[in-house]
Every structure is written in structure tokens, then in C-alpha cells.
Structure 1
Amino acid sequence: MLAICCIFAGFYFFRQERHELSTISDTLQQISWPALIAGLASTVLYIGLMALTYVFSFKAVGANVSFASSLELFLKRNFIGVFLPMGGITSQTFFSGIIERKGIPTYRVNFASAIFLIVGILSVFIVGIPVLAWLGFTATAHSALFIKLLYSFPVLILITWGTVSFLRKKWLYQRCKKWFPAAFVAIDEMMAEGLSKKYLWIALLMAVLIEVIGITQLYIAITAVEPGASLLAAVLGYTVAVILLIASPLLKGIGAIELAVTFILTEYGFGTASAAAIVILFRFYNFWLMMLAGIVSFVWSRQNVLLRVFPAGMIFILGIVNLVSALSPAIKWRMIALKSYLPLTTIHASNDLTLFAGVVLLFTATYLVKGSKTAWYVAVITTMVSLVGHLFKDIDYEEAIYATIVLIALLITRSQYKIKNDPGRRTMGIRTSIGVFVVALVMGVLGFYFLDKKHFGIDFNFMQSVQFTLQQFFLLSNDTLVPLTKFGEGYLRLISFMGIGAFSFLLYTLGRPYIFDEDTDQSDLSAAREIAQQYSVSSLDYFKIYPDKLIFFNEKRTGFISYKIANGFAVVLGMPVCENTAAAKKEILTAFEQFCKECGLHSAYYRVREADIIQLQSFKKKFFVIGQEATIVIDNFSLEGKKKQNLRTARNTLTKKGYTMQTFEPPLSNDTLQQMEAVSKDWLGEGEKRELVFSQGMFDKDIMRNHTVIALMSPAGVMAAFVELVPVFRNSEVRYDLLRKRNNEQNGTTEWLLLAVIDYCKSKQIAELNMGMAPMAGIEEPKSMQERSIKLAYEKIKRFRHYKGLRNFKERFDPSWENVYFAYESSYDLFFLPSALNQVMRDDES
């Protein structure tokens, strides 16, 4: 919404000043070729310094990357960042493969990218603070401007102090480390491993030189329009532009930057038309040429992502072309010729329609990158409207030709847009927008009709009331409606804001992906259970048909995938349950991945076994270890020997104190369930612990009634602890789920419960006991940034110490260990997956 406001703010400003801006095209045509060449040269230098900043950022972390690879990395990230939320930051997770293919590990790529970001932000403050100080001492003629900008000075000081404190590991660093320990262990380790201060300073120097080149670009634009202009205006304008670029949530500050820099230049005595011409030229050097270079980099490398990104970029440019063309004055001979065939009202309507289409196209570009099918339809229709609008408003055949090229590109790449959109939200958006329109129409018509003449100087009739209401709601040009009072101004703004709100909400709901969040019905669970009974190879399969899961079947319903949805992710538990062949698994995985694409979901796989990694690698998944799963082979287990002395002591001590073990076979009685519930509540405490689901169960009487339970009974006959055995689909294996005891019970309770489970397995001739996962364990030699972070947190952070204790506890039973993995699509997903995992594991009913 902030991005929408930025664009509308810029649009509103240029619309209000359209009469003064009528000379922009004349001003731009007078720019000399030397000025254009100087600007182009500055852009080439700007891009080259960006690439060098990457080169030295990688050198700072001990990695050598060529200039060509760094150049490709910058151009692609810069281009894709326009269409991403907080693109300057989030784009740093894209296209890491360019560097990883050179043999540089992922964690070094991520760390170097972080350094690139940090030095980029630091350079802004290194330039920004002297600018404000200089303005304060020298710009007495612009004291009002200085006072307005002075509000940002404490912010700059605070951020600079924070950066220094962080880099020197002072107060801010210590607080951040205390709040986010998991993130800092990896940072500390990598810095200790050999962060080169020499190359870090060189990278910072490159970043500062980039800001100098940026200032030079604006100065070139100023002198090209009005020679002999002030250098201070260029320094101040560029600094404000970069701050807005950093703060912009989307589209890299388009609208806000144009508005802010134009305002600053007018404060230095430039006319509105001259200031706008300067900004257009500056943005051509500093933004549009680099966008073009990004497109060239995609074409040069011939990557498939071009099929989606390139049309989105073309749509984005067409949106800008529409806005500029609609706000620019018409060419006189074309307008004279057009008036011979079309009435003036049609020409004005075409111009307004082109303007509105431009705004729609800007937002549609973002959804096109995501692959939205609805966005493709909107883009095609709006592009056709733009084509006709350009011809009917001023015979702008140049813009119409470009719109035709865009339309052809959209039709050629139509197969890339498969993501369905949420029909519920779409319907809600349409209904809400229609409702707002009806309210605005009724309010506007009645208001204009009954308003006192003093507010607008017009005694409105009914048709005029309808006409002016529609024009104001759709933000169409209207020179005859001029408010004469504050009330009149406010009345017009109210109708305009209702129009902006209605269209923004409509575009948002049309672009939202379809999220499949229906509950799984009992027939699907029953069908999944039958498949699991036939093909199950893991005790984890029991939790795949737990009531909290969604079930995806292949077309023949010979296999299924169990998953949950959160934050736009389909988080899968393990692998598909189907015939245990590579072909069967690939068939259902392919269908599920296609389903996720159509629904706008990112797939992730939780607790994947090592043997299944190859299967998922064919779908270009990335992996990292999340823990180890322990399994006891019953026939190999023995209590003999010194290593098992603690286990024997635990059982013998409790036996002497009068404790006994009791096995409860299903169906469990209400009395047994009540005793178990009392133990469970005591174990959970007063909100200190909470139920976790997804890969394990929760306390549910209806479910547990049909499970075997082994309980430790106190000398008084009260249940002190219990362990629940879940039914598995393999007769050779058993798995326990809930293992809970009262908080004040004797030591050794858990050990004896597990010994009792082993005895139970022996009595039932069960070959293996699955003890579940020890989280974060098993990473001996980390292979990625994620594994390094997990290993360091596991070994050094107090908060995760209990995971190490859990692993040591299970090790006392001498199990075999197998690493389990988490699979995901891209590094960008790691920004949002922790929250998604937290949601799928949360018990919403407790």
C-alpha cells in the first residue's frame, strides 16, 4: 500500500502541474549531445563500480569472483529487485547460482551479498551527513528546506552510531546478539574465519564512489537543462533519492523519488517544468538504462526466467510510457488532424483511459513476475486498451507500436502464467469495489446536486453531477471543476480517495494467488490410510494421515502427499506414500509441484531421508540437515555392560521405591485417559510448553483411546508418567509419540519407560523401535550457510542446549542414527520459511 501511495502521490503532483509541465518535451529536445554522452558514460561507470563492489565483497570473505560474473549478478539482481518487496534487500537472495557454479559455497555467497548491502547503506550515510551539515552552514537562502530536512538528521546520526557500534561489537551488537543468537553465531564464525578488513574497506570505497557518480549523474542532468546550476542541489537531490530508494517497499521508489527530487530542485529556483525535465533525464541515466542492461543480461545468458521477467519488464515500461504520454502535451499537427475525425470528448476520454491503464500496468507487472494467470489476462486487456488509447488521443503511433510489441510478447509467453487466483478474494474485491463505486456515485451525485453554489461557482444539474462524480472517482482530467472553498477541496479529495482505494483493493484481490485451504474430508483420509497400509515404508507415515493434514492424491489415486499450508508455502511431511519405486515417486511429485505452481504455492519438504535426496534434486531443490533420527534394533539391544549401568540403576531404584509398569491396550477406559490427561497438563505446565504437531501428535482423547499406552504407576497407584505407542503400517517397527511425566517425579522415569517399550517390542516380536528425531544434531562438516548456523547454535547457544541433551539421552540406548533433511526451492524462501514452519507445527486448537 505504501508503494501504491508513492505512485499516486507522484501522479497527483504531475497531474496538478500539467499546465506548467507542457514545456518539458521542448526542454528535453534542447539537451546537447555532449551532455547525453556524459550521462551515458556515467551510467557505464556506475554499473562497473557496482560490479567491483561485488568483487571486493567476495574477496572480503575469501572468495575470488571475476568481474564478468559480478557484473551479471548485479544486473540481474538490480532488475528483479524492482518487482520484489523490499527489492534492494530481497533481490540479494536471487541468482546465487551464477557464483555457486564457480565452486564458491552458498554461505560465502550469502555473506558477501550481505557485505554488499551493508557497504551500500553505509555509503549513503557517509555522503548524507556531510550534505546536511553543508546545507546548514551554507544554504541560508533555503533555511525552510534545511529545517524540513533537519528532521532526518537525528535518524542519520542514530543509524551511523548503530552501524559503528555493530561493527565494533559494542552495545548494539551485544543487544542484537542477545535477541537473535542463532543469526549471530554464523556471523561470528565467518568473521573469525577470515573477514579481510582490507577488502572490506575497498568495497566501502567503491560504494562511496558509486554515490559520487550518482551525484554526478544528477549534476549532468541539471547542467544539461540549465548550465551553471548549483552542485549542492545535485548532492542534496541525489541523497534524498537514495534514501527513498532504500525505504521504498516496492518498485524502487518510483513516484516518490520523482516527486521529492522535483520538489528539492524547485526550492533551488528551478521552474517546475525544468525540474521535471532534470528528474526525467536523471532517472533515465540512473534507473532506466540499468533496467535495460538487466534485460540484456538475461537475453545474453538465455535463461528461462527471461520468459516471465522480460514481459513483466516490458509491461512495467509500457505503464511508465502511458503515464508520461498522457501527461505530456499533444503534438499540434497530430491533434489538428485527429479533431477532423473524432470529437474532443473522445480524445480527452482516450487520454484519461491511457493514463488509468498506465497505473494498472505498473501493478500488473509485479503479479506477472509471480506467474499469475489473472495478471496475464489483465495485462493483455490493458495493453490493448493502451494501444487504442494512444492512437485515439494524439495519433501516438510510436507508443502504439511498442504496445503492439508488448502484446505479442505476452501472447508468445502465455504458457508461463499458470498460477490460479483466489476466487473468493477475487469475488470479494469485485463486490467491494462495486459497493464503494455505488456509494461514491450516490454520495457524489446527491452532493453536487444539492451543494451550495459558493463551493464551485456552479449550480449543478443532475447530468453534471453524474459526470463530475465519475470523472473525480476515475481520476480523469477536469479543468472546469475548480473548488472555491476548503469544503469543496475536501469533497473532491474524498471522492478521489474512494476511487484510489477501490481500484487498489481490486488490483490486490485480482492478483492474489489461490490458496487451497479446504479441510480434508474423511473419505480422503480413509483412502490415504488404505494406501499407507499397502505401501508404507516409514513409521512417520502415521502422522501423514493425522487430522491436521491436507492430502494430495495423484490422478490415479495410487499414492498421496501429506502437507499443510502456511504463508504461501505447502510444507510436505516426508516423501510421498506410494509404490516404493523411483518412477512412482517422480510421477506424484511432478503432479504435486505442478499443483503448487498453479496455486501460487512454494513447496518445501520436512524430514526427508538421505536416500530420497536424489529424487528431490531432479526438481532443483536445495537441502540442509535438520537433525538425526534414532532407531533401536531390538535384537541387538542389551542392558549388559558399563555403558548401560545408568539405565539399570534407574529401573532398579524406582522398583525398590514401589513403582510399577502397566500396559494399557486399546480401547482405553475413560479413567485411564483422565489420568493421562492429568499427567499431560502437569507436563505442559502453565503455558510454559505448548503442543507441537505436524510430525508428531498431540493429546487428543478420541485419537489416543485407540493406542497402546505404557504407564509408570506410583506406589499409591497414581499414574506418574506414560508413553504412547502409535500404530504404524509396518509390522516390523513401532514408534512412540507422546512421552510425558509429572514435573515432580523421580529421576530415571523416562529411562524406565523406554526400557518398558523395548520389552514390549520383544514380547510382540517387533524388530525396531523408532525413537524420533534429535533436532539440529548430526552436522559434522557443514556444507551450507544453513548447516553452519544450525551447528553453531547447537553447540554454543544456551537456548538450544536441550537438543544436545536430547541427543545424548537417546545415545544411551545405543541406536543407529540417520540424518534427515529439509528441502526448499530457493534462498529467497528462507526469509519466510521459519514463520511458515512455526505455523504448521502450531496446535491451533490449544
Structure 2
Amino acid sequence: MNAHKKEGLRALAALYGPKALKVALPILAVTVVYFQGRSEFEGLHPSAAMMLVSRVPAWQLAALVLLGMVAVLAMAGYDAIFRMGQRSTGTQMNWKPLLRASWIANTTNNVMGFGGFTGAGIRMLYYKRSGIPLGQQLQLLFLLSMSSLVGLSFLCTLSITGLLPVGSLMNEYPWLTAGVWLLSFYWPVYLILFSGMPLPFGGWLRKQGTISFRLAAGAGLVSLAEWLLAGVTFYASVSIVGLELSLPVVLGLFVLSAAAGILSLAPGGAGTLDLVLMVALSVNGAHPDHALAALLLFRVCYYAIPWIFGLFLAARDWMPRGEVLLGRTQDLWSKTNLGWQRVWMWPGQLAMLGDIGIWALSSLVLFSGLVLLVSAATPGILDRMLLLHHWVTPLTMKFSHQITVIMGLLLITLSRGIWHKLRRAYTLTLVMLGIGAFFSILKGLDVEEALFLSAVALLLYISRSRFYRRRWSYSRWSVVYWILLTACVAGAFYLLGDLLNPTPGHWLGRHKWAAAFFLKDRELLRSAVVGFAGTWVILTFWIWLSPKGTPHSPPNQEDYERLSELLARYPGNPLTHLLYLGDKSFFWSHAGDVLIPYGRYRNSLIVLGDPIGNPYGLKEALREFRTFADQWAMNPVLYQISARYLTLYHEFGYRFFKLGEEGFVSLQEFTLTGRSKADLRAVRNRYEREGYVLDMVEPPFTESLKESLRSISEQWLGERREKGFSLGWFEPDYMERAPVAVIRTAEGNAVAFATIMPGYDGSTASVDLVRFQPDAGNGIMDYLYMKLFEWAKGQGFTRFNLGMAPLSSVGEFPYAFREERLAGWVFRNVNAWYRFKGIRKYKEKFEPVWETRYLAYPQGSSLVTVMLNISLLIGRVRGKRRKATLTRSGGRSI
């Protein structure tokens, strides 16, 4: 393996290694628990568990939901204690928004992770909107992150001492025993930390904010109440399904399972907590069917229903009237120095909540699809089916069942369009929710399901102003991805239905009153296949009928006339001449005095250089361009920009990556005298003795000259391909716009040439293509540049642009950001023929003045992906440019 590949693998490991570990650990934990306790799962029939759940009386189910709500509401104690601690500041939050923020934060944290950081981050967004100072927000976050495990730690201590009996379970799982012992030490350490005792690391603790012992102890008591009420909710679930276990035993088993979930690092302990709970109940004499039924009730009543209610609150609370985006909160985070936050890779794990309202809406749509599919895979409730049988035919019921499967798959797919704020996705989702609600009634009289879908539709309608994007950019690979995803979901629907509908040999299947409403394997398979096919028939028509517009179209003759008029009033930049290649689109500001040239690759709109035109109209033009990109769900990137407008770019939410430096030779100061220029003098004298001369050829060029230059260009390229976008390629029409410098031998043969690239500022000259025959000698480029300096000085130019020198050291130092190390590796290897390390060394011999060039990319976007898109755009295969480019209509402006 060569050094470049090793470098890339190291960068990949540094960037994605921790994320992969966070995925691998939960999977490993679930695998270990399953194989250690698989004997306890023998005789498990999910269909029987579902039947037990469906036979729970409505009043008991309502009571369990109410208990789960109370358990979640108890976590508002964190906010109440913190509010009381801020009485002296005069910035207390009102109780009503505080309780809403607490509910949304806590239910989301329950689903996404026990660490406390997810909930704390959502609180920060609410607190910021309420005017709570940043210092107090960070203080709350620190308190929450430290106190969330105190209650579980104390309960672990009770389990070890035997006050919460767990039987022989700890002896059978040594790794779990070690974890429980480890967690049991946390609560005394927590109290010592905030007791005011002198500690070696007290200075670090004081940096996180002054938190009194009273406040810390109160938060610890809230944590204890949180875990106790969660355990009581699980005990109620166990009792409802008929398991006769005492409260202390159930609490002990719950504590062990929660500890396993924490150690697995899985969000909400998913998988590990569930398996350990089932094993624990089975070891204590519970039938696996009853254990699964209890677990399902607990997950629905403590996690799912409160979280769905929280999503409704979030979607309603974060209407477009005054949103606070996470990107701004991330800016605040970047100014703090909280080393402990890195344990959970904060705030990256909350990036998906950049807009809480739209995130909540897309989650509700996704959940609506899952509800329809789970409902379709589950046997209907007997009493309702018998009642419905008097009003509709069995054929209507089966047809309705099939429609709900299609609607479920469609809603899962459309949730992505809701996330991207696509107007057409919003319209189709409303229709699908209405159809799904209607056929839920005809399928099995599922009134609750229909009401839920109707509520989601109503919330979407109220939020209709959020959906403004005209088109969502997608690639063929993304379509393949979604086809595979919907196929997997359809397959999961079939497997779930197979699990939840008992076989004829099972005791449930032998009951004639129940078997009539179970789905057979053949029916499930048909529903899955027809559902998948129907979903993609509808989506295909939907995509086919979508607007065919594109945010990238070549400039026309009118655009070039406007460009000429603009350059007559305002100066250009070193990259302006490349706009005449015809491979970039022109975005004109409303005022018409600013031009932003860009190219498109995948979902990126890549602007080349700083915008051209009126500097006083630049801010409004950038706002219009960002709005334009947002309407098409594109990522606006600024490539090779100068330091002149960095402050303005920063105001628009851009982050920066140093690409390299551009060298400018002062023609008035450049001289060949002195010892350092001895090599250059020797090169010039040698070529002049041999009769080489510079021939400046003005357009139009003869055919013989074009063929001669083409031959030199092809020899210079060899097996390499032409680059583009930020570089010119051999294109005769483009070359005819400026003089060409040709180096000729004494016999008049051309051996090297350079195309002149005007700077459009009246003082700068530059070159674009510099190409020579391989046998022209090692000093031919030096001689060409020296002769060009003489020519440019004679033409009245004051400086000469040598072009970019990309930094070979970008991302190579161990102190560089991991993403920058990977981005630097991508850029160096995708554009390998540039030989970056030697470019700057070569240009230094002319003693240029270096000006830094940057890449600006929006917050939340991946630097690695942006750099890859730019590299692929530059390296795109260049064919013959169509002459229609300069006359074709279709230039786009807002």
C-alpha cells in the first residue's frame, strides 16, 4: 500500500473512527446479550404478545399512558431547580414555555440517548429564544450532563446491597456486574465534586460555571425521581399483562437493564435494555410472551406516546414566525471551551435538529408511515372487525388494507421531502395522510390511527409556509438508495406480519373466532410486493411530473453583453476571464450590478472567485443567491475567494478552509540582477544565444497556428485529461479572446505557448494555459515567464499573476482538524497531476507577493464532500464546447 493510500486511510479513521465505534458498540452489546440469553427466548411468539397487548382494557391502557406522562413530566424538575437558582439574575423563563421546552427536550432525549446532551441542546435553543444569557445556558447544560446519571447510580448501589433484589442475574453476566459496580460510584463522586472540597481539578470545574451544592443536590434528587418513576411505569406494564412480581424485584431488574443500555451507548438503550429486561423477566419465571408484551407497553407508553406529543408541541412551537437555527447555537458553542462535551461529540450529534420545527414535522410524517405499516401487519381487534363487517364487504377491507401499505411506504419516502421543505412533497403528503386516515377506518375501524394521521395533516397545513422549495436535487444513486430502502421496509413489513400473525398450529390460530382475522403468508407477501410496486409507480409519476427547471444553465449572448458592460464599470478579478469558457452559469442580482458565476456538481453550486460588480450591492446579491440555492435545496460554496470579503461571508454562515496562495510579481521591482537570479540569467542567455524569441500573436489566429498549438498541447498532456472550471482548457474560441505568447526557435518552429488572461482591473496580466513540448528543455517555462514579464511591463501592467500555489501541507499536521486532513488528502489525490508540493517552490524563484485564497462552505455541510465535488467538477471530462453556448437562451436570474 503506497503512502498516499495510507495517509487517506489514517484520515478516514481519524474522522469516522469514533462514529463507527459508537455504532459498533451497541451492535456488539446486543449480540452478546442475545447469545448469552437465547435459551430464555425459546417459546417466544410475538403474535401472542401482541394479542396480550390488544386485550388490555382501555382504562388500564389509559392509566398506563397517564403514568408514563407523569414520569416524563417529573423531569421538568431539572428546569424548575435551575430556574429557582437564577432568581437573582432577573432572566427567569416563564413556567409555560419552560414546561414545553422541558417536555420536548426530555422526550427527545429519551429516544435519542440517555447522555442528557440531546435534551440539553434543545433546551439551549428555547432558552436562547427567551433571552437567557449564554453563560447560564452552558451552566444548565453542564448541570444536566453531570446529574442525569445520579439517580441510576444510586439505584445501582441499592441493587448491589440487595435492597433491590436481582436474583442470580448479576452472577450470570460478569460484564454487567462490573458495569453496575462502576456506575454505583458515580453519585458519591458527583456530590464530592460540588461539595466545595479542594480538588486537584477544581479549576477545571470552576470553568464550567459556579453551581452551588444545593442546586447540584436538587438536580440529583430529580434524577432519582426520574429513574424511579420510569421503573414504576415498567412495573405497571408488568402488572397489566398479568406477571406477579413485587415492585422491588421489578425495579432491580429495570436498574440492571438500564445500566446495560447506558454501557452499550445505544440511543435510549435500544436493543440492549430490551433484551436484558426480557432475559431478566424470563429468569424470574415470566413467560417470554408476557415479558415481550410488558416491554412493548413500556416502550409505547413511556417513550413513543410522550415523544409524539412532544413532536406536536415542537412543530407548533417553532412556526416560521421566529425560528432560532442550530447553526447560530453552534457558533456560540465554538466560542466556548468545554472539554467534557467531546465525550459525546457535541454538538455534532444534534446537527439533525437544525430546524426543530421541520425536524418534528418530518419525524411525524415518518412515524405516520410506520404506524400505517405496523397497523397493516397486525391482526385487527376482534370486536371492531365484527362491527365493521356489518357495514363493508371483506373485499373492501382487503383493498383498504393494501392501500394503507402503499400509503405507509409513501409517507416514509415523502418524509425526506418534508425535511427538505419541498412544496410538492408537502402537497402529496397531505393527500396521502387523508387517504391513509380514510382507509384506516375501512381496514379495521382504527379510529385512533385515523385521528393521529388527521392531526399530522392539520399540523402540516398550519405550517404550509415552511414549504417553499421548488425542487429537490437528487442523483441516480439517491434514487437507487430509496428504492432499496423501500424494498427493505416492505420486507420488514412482511417479516413483522409473519411474526405477529400466528401459524395455524399455534394455540391462537386454533381459535376460529380469531383465525378469521389473521393474515396469511400469501396475503402478507402480496401486500408487501404490491405495496412496493404501487409506491414506486406513484413516485415515478410524481418525479416525472416535477418541474424540469435546473439551477444551472449556460450563459447566453445577452449575459456576455451584460458582463462586458459590468466590467466597463467595475473591476474584475484574476478568475474573471474564465467566465468566457461557457461552463459556468451567471446569477445576476436584482439590481443587475453584481454577477455571481457558478458551476454545479451534484448538490453543490460552486461559485468561482469573489462576486463581480458593485461592492455596495454585494451583501444583497449574496442574500439573493443563498435564497436561490435554498429554493433548489442546493449547497452554495465559494471557491478561491480572497480575504477581502471574509467578514461579509461569515455573516452569511460560511466556514472557511485555506486553499493556498496566489502569487503576484511586481513588474516594477522585478529584476534579474543579483546572485539569487543567476540561474534565471543563465536560462535567458542560453535561449537567446540559440535564437529563441517570444512572438505575441493577436487574434484572430490562423488555422496553421491553431494546429501547431494543439500539437504542443496534446504532447504536454500526454495521457492526462484536460481540467476545467477554475482552469482553462484548449478551446480555440476561448483562446481567441486574448493574445497568445508563442516561443519560437531560430527556425520559426513553435515549442511553447501561453494564453494571456486579462485581469480586468487595468493593472494585472496573467496566463491561463502554459504548455510546451517535452523536448523544449528544462528552462523553457522560465524563459517564457521572463519574456512575458518584459512584454507586460511594456504594455503598462504593474503586476503579473503567477496563479495559485495550493498548500501541500494542508491537513498534514497532526494538529489540523480531522475533516481538514481528509479534505486535504482528497484534493491532493483527486487532482494528483498538479504536483502541489513543487508548484510553490517553482514560483518562489520569481519572488512574488502571496495573497491567500479560501474556500467558504455553509455550516452543517461536510468539508470532505464539498472538496470532493469541487475536485470532480474541475476534473470533469472536457469535450468540444458547443458554439451555441454563446447564443443559446436560458440564462437564469432571480
TM-score by length of 1: 0.61
Superposition pairs of residues 444-843 of structure 1, within 5 angstroms: 493=525, 496-497=528-529, 499-504=531-536, 506-507=538-539, 510=542, 516=550, 519-520=553-554, 522-523=556-557, 525-534=559-568, 535-554=570-589, 559-577=594-612, 579-583=613-617, 585-687=618-720, 690-714=721-745, 717-776=748-807, 789=820, 802-843=835-876
Match of 1:309 among 326, 351, 359: 359
CA distance in 1 between counterparts of 2:356 and 2:72 reads 27
CA distance in 2 between counterparts of 1:591 and 1:217 reads 50
Q: Alignment RMSD, CA only?
A: 6.5
Residue 410 (str. 1) matches residue 410 (str. 2)? no
Match of 1:378 among 428, 433, 440: 428
Residues 689-722 of structure 1: per-residue CA shift (max 9 Å, x gap)? x422111101224433554222333466543332
The answer to whether the 8 A contact 2:724-2:876 is kept is: yes
**Alpha-carbon offset, residue 323 of structure 1:** 4.5
CA distance in 1 between counterparts of 2:579 and 2:694 reads 31
CA distance in 1 between counterparts of 2:657 and 2:474 reads 37
Counterpart residue number, 1:25: 54
Residues 661-694 of structure 1: per-residue CA shift (max 9 Å, x gap)? 333332333333333333333333334xx42211
Counterpart residue number, 1:186: none
Query: Residue 683 of structure 2 aligns to a residue in which SS?
Result: helix
Q: 1:686 to 1:332 in 2, by over 3 A?
A: closer
CA distance in 2 between counterparts of 1:36 and 1:323 reads 26
**Alpha-carbon offset, residue 723 of structure 1:** 1.8
**Alpha-carbon offset, residue 75 of structure 1:** 8.8
CA distance in 1 between counterparts of 2:786 and 2:54 reads 86
Residues 566-597 of structure 1: per-residue CA shift (max 9 Å, x gap)? 121111112333x41322x3343333222222
Residues 532-576 of structure 1: per-residue CA shift (max 9 Å, x gap)? 543442131111232222233345655532211112111111233
Query: Residue 783 of structure 2 aligns to a residue in which SS?
Result: helix
Superposition pairs of residues 15-54 of structure 1, within 5 angstroms: 21-27=50-56
**Alpha-carbon offset, residue 606 of structure 1:** 0.8
Residues 169-209 of structure 1: per-residue CA shift (max 9 Å, x gap)? xxxxxxxxxxxxxxxxxxxxxxxxxxx9xxxxxxxxxxxxx
CA distance in 1 between counterparts of 2:371 and 2:850 reads 61
**Alpha-carbon offset, residue 295 of structure 1:** 8.0
CA distance in 2 between counterparts of 1:347 and 1:419 reads 38
Number of positions where the alignment pairs a residue of Structure 1 with one of Structure 2 = 666
**Alpha-carbon offset, residue 332 of structure 1:** 6.9
Residues 513-541 of structure 1: per-residue CA shift (max 9 Å, x gap)? 97727642543553454345434421311
- In structure 1, the gaps of 5 or more residues are 1-15, 49-71, 105-111, 113-133, 140-195, 197-209, 247-251, 434-476, 484-488
- In structure 2, the gaps of 5 or more residues are 1-44, 79-100, 136-141, 143-167, 174-203, 205-222, 325-354, 484-514, 880-894
TM-score by length of 2: 0.58
CA distance in 2 between counterparts of 1:564 and 1:750 reads 31
Match of 1:318 among 335, 351, 368: 368
Residues 394-414 of structure 1: per-residue CA shift (max 9 Å, x gap)? 665555544443233212221
Query: Residue 711 of structure 1 aligns to a residue in which SS?
Result: strand
Superposition pairs of residues 328-407 of structure 1, within 5 angstroms: 353-354=403-404, 356-389=406-439, 398-407=448-457
Q: 1:820 to 1:283 in 2, by over 3 A?
A: farther
Q: 1:21 to 1:295 in 2, by over 3 A?
A: closer
The answer to whether the 8 A contact 1:22-1:273 is kept is: no
CA distance in 1 between counterparts of 2:279 and 2:735 reads 70
Q: 1:245 to 1:515 in 2, by over 3 A?
A: farther
The answer to whether the 8 A contact 1:318-1:403 is kept is: yes
Residue 281 (str. 1) matches residue 314 (str. 2)? no
CA distance in 2 between counterparts of 1:662 and 1:391 reads 85
Counterpart residue number, 1:157: none
Q: 1:98 to 1:716 in 2, by over 3 A?
A: farther
Counterpart residue number, 1:5: none
CA distance in 1 between counterparts of 2:602 and 2:109 reads 21
Query: Residue 687 of structure 2 aligns to a residue in which SS?
Result: helix
Return the letter of the residue paired with 2:703.
Answer: N
Counterpart residue number, 2:488: none
Return the letter of the residue paired with 1:24.
Answer: V
Residues 628-663 of structure 1: per-residue CA shift (max 9 Å, x gap)? 222234334333344444432332233345443333
CA distance in 2 between counterparts of 1:267 and 1:672 reads 88
Return the letter of the residue paired with 1:601.
Answer: M
Superposition pairs of residues 75-224 of structure 1, within 5 angstroms: 221=234, 224=237
Q: Sequence identity, in percent?
A: 20
Counterpart residue number, 1:69: none
CA distance in 2 between counterparts of 1:697 and 1:621 reads 27
Residues 775-813 of structure 1: per-residue CA shift (max 9 Å, x gap)? 238999x9x96699479979xx99899535423433333
CA distance in 2 between counterparts of 1:497 and 1:257 reads 32
Query: Residue 753 of structure 1 aligns to a residue in which SS?
Result: helix
**Alpha-carbon offset, residue 603 of structure 1:** 0.9
The answer to whether the 8 A contact 2:820-2:864 is kept is: no
Q: 1:562 to 1:284 in 2, by over 3 A?
A: farther
**Alpha-carbon offset, residue 841 of structure 1:** 0.8
The answer to whether the 8 A contact 1:79-1:295 is kept is: no
Query: Residue 461 of structure 2 aligns to a residue in which SS?
Result: helix
